[in-house]
Amino acid sequence: MNVEHCERSESGKPITVVIVGAGHRSLLYASYAKKHPDELQVTGVVEPDPERRKLTAKQFGLNDSCCFETVEQLASAPKLADAVINGTMDDLHVQTTLPLLKAGYDVLLEKPIATSEQEMLQLYQTATQYGRTVMICHVLRYAPFYRAIREAVSSGGIGDIVNIQTAEHVSYHHMAVSFIRGKWNSVEKCKSSMLMAKCCHDLDIISWMVGDKPSKVSSFGGLLQFKPANAPHGAGKRCLVDCQIEESCIYSARKHYIDQGRWGFYVWDNSYLGSEPSLEQRIESLRTDNPYGRCVWHCDNDVVDHQSVIIEFDNGCTASHNMVGATSRPCRTIHIIGTKGEITGVLEDGSFVIRHPDPRKGHEYSEKRVEVPVTNDSHGGGDLLLVADFVRVLRGEAPSISSTSLEKSIYGHQIGFAGEHSRLEGRMIEIGGIEAVKQGK
């Protein structure tokens, strides 16, 4: 490999990045370098798993000197990129980012920012102290659907926002793979609540649309469905081992991960890097030690499967968000009501409607449907648009309306942290906004 693969970019050259945590999300963001090599170049990887590190290096043509097991190794080496793409697990975000900020790297950081307000404060203060750019992977802001709605709100066409209602319906197969069987099924393990692991996107959208400081939050919810007491008669501990109802069960691991081929990048180790197990190996894996072969009613999950959040902002407007797990159809909905009109739509439908009162005889309201492009991913096409904006910002260009800078991403996280405190403590929580975070309150 040429030595230029380990050098940071110069003026007029592509922005260079090191992948930190070679998981599915990091590799998806890094794929921008393959599509736009004139804009972005991957020059290194930090990954403790040797196979994953080797496969990532192969994908991007990296030699051994550009591959590291820990961020400490990268931070102590000569600086070899402009920035890092940090896609580590939730509880590692802050501890892996801090040494790299101090070493001079800008950061594209997977959400959530942190697993506590205290950690978020520490990250914010460190980024400010060292003058580093940190952008958060709130990719929904970049989805054409939400961007177009934000532009419609900004135009003043529906007046001042009075209320926002959002909902996220997490499909039965997504709920099972991520939040019952998978990596985000337990606060004890991943340190993130369901609200922060899944819905910080939606809470960020709400705060972005309102553009003001949240002041009060209340929340309710719990784990209603997926616990041993609710297991159907005949359910076993593993779908392909001792279950008498596997053939008829909608949560069958065989149906989800073999017949339908869903979520392979979670279920099969390193499949997103090209390491594909055979059918026999998949079946044996689900029968033995693969956590995704477990019965959904007999897992170690403790995160909620439904939750509602109510928010009041300083300017008096209110908002609500409902997360409902195990729905038939996955979708995100939004309804914004303003003083002059309203906007409503479903992300997956690829359109939204703008309505205005119409008091003319024979009318009640007028409406206009706005069509927007929607890709077949869960983020409505926002993933790589986020990376493109990150590249522009590091080049010194003006950020887009969707900008997910660290400072602009804090309000939504404060709502999420306060919402979980409210749910657990059974009380309304008052929050202080960005100034409180800056002052460490």
Phi, psi of 266 (to 5 degrees): -95, -45
- Judged against a pLDDT cut of 80, whether residue 9 lies above it is answered with no
Q: Which two tokens stand for residue 245?
A: 């109802």
- Judged against a pLDDT cut of 80, whether residue 401 lies above it is answered with yes
- Judged against a pLDDT cut of 60, whether residue 11 lies above it is answered with no
Work out the pLDDT band at 433, boundaries 50, 70, 90: low
* Residue 291 CB-density burial (10 A; 0-12 exposed, 13-18 middle, 19+ buried): middle
Lowest-confidence region among 187-196, 260-269, 283-292, 427-436:
427-436
**Over residues 175-191, mean pLDDT:** 96
Beta strands in 174-265 (DSSP E): 214-222
- Judged against a pLDDT cut of 50, whether residue 3 lies above it is answered with no
- At 42, which helix (H) or strand (E)? strand 40-46
Work out the pLDDT band at 138, boundaries 50, 70, 90: very high
Q: How many C-beta atoms lie closer than 10 Å to residue 174's C-beta?
A: 21
- Judged against a pLDDT cut of 60, whether residue 258 lies above it is answered with yes
How many helices (H) and strands (E) the chain has is answered by: 16, 15
pLDDT at 6: 52
- Judged against a pLDDT cut of 70, whether residue 441 lies above it is answered with no
**What is the spatial distance between Cα 322 and Cα 333, in angstroms, rounded to a whole number?**
10
- Judged against a pLDDT cut of 70, whether residue 7 lies above it is answered with no
CA 110 to chain CA centroid, nearest Å: 7
Q: How many C-beta atoms lie closer than 10 Å to residue 152's C-beta?
A: 19
Helix (H/G/I), strand (E/B), else coil: 430: strand
**What is the spatial distance between Cα 267 and Cα 285, in angstroms, rounded to a whole number?**
10
pLDDT at 284: 97
pLDDT per position as a tens digit, 382-400 = 899 999 999 999 999 999 9
- Judged against a pLDDT cut of 70, whether residue 14 lies above it is answered with yes
**Over residues 12-26, mean pLDDT:** 94
Q: How many C-beta atoms lie closer than 10 Å to residue 348's C-beta?
A: 16
pLDDT at 274: 81
- Judged against a pLDDT cut of 60, whether residue 31 lies above it is answered with yes
Lowest-confidence region among 29-43, 189-203, 271-285:
271-285
**What is the spatial distance between Cα 328 and Cα 348, in angstroms, rounded to a whole number?**
14
Work out the pLDDT band at 271, boundaries 50, 70, 90: confident
Q: Assign domain 3-136 one CATH number from 3.30.70.2740, 1.10.1060.10, 2.40.50.100, 3.40.50.720.
A: 3.40.50.720
- At 165, which helix (H) or strand (E)? strand 161-171
Q: Which residue type occupies 329?
A: R
Work out the pLDDT band at 4, boundaries 50, 70, 90: very low
Q: How many C-beta atoms lie closer than 10 Å to residue 94's C-beta?
A: 22
Whether the CB-CB separation of 345 and 353 falls below 8 Å is answered with yes
* Residue 114 CB-density burial (10 A; 0-12 exposed, 13-18 middle, 19+ buried): buried
Pairing of strands 134-136, 106-109: parallel
State the chain's mean pLDDT as an integer: 94
Q: Which one, of 77, 96, 97, lies nearest residue 6 by Cα?
A: 77
**What is the spatial distance between Cα 32 and Cα 258, in angstroms, rounded to a whole number?**
29
The single-letter DSSP state of residue 175 is I
pLDDT per position as a tens digit, 164-176 = 999 999 999 999 9
Domain ranges of the chain: 3-136, 141-226+302-378+406-439, 239-293
Phi, psi of 327 (to 5 degrees): -85, 165
Whether the CB-CB separation of 49 and 89 falls below 8 Å is answered with no
**Over residues 309-336, mean pLDDT:** 97
- First-last CA distance in the chain: 50
pLDDT per position as a tens digit, 219-237 = 999 999 999 999 999 999 9
Beta strands in 253-373 (DSSP E): 306-313, 318-327, 331-338, 342-346, 351-357, 365-371
- In the beta sheet, which residues pair with residue 31? none
Q: Which residue type occupies 311?
A: I
**What is the spatial distance between Cα 400 and Cα 379, in angstroms, rounded to a whole number?**
18
- Judged against a pLDDT cut of 80, whether residue 10 lies above it is answered with no
pLDDT at 434: 61
pLDDT per position as a tens digit, 297-309 = 999 999 999 999 9
Q: Does domain 141-226+302-378+406-439 have CATH number 3.30.360.10?
A: yes
Q: Which two tokens stand for residue 64?
A: 């051994």
**What is the spatial distance between Cα 161 and Cα 337, in angstroms, rounded to a whole number?**
6
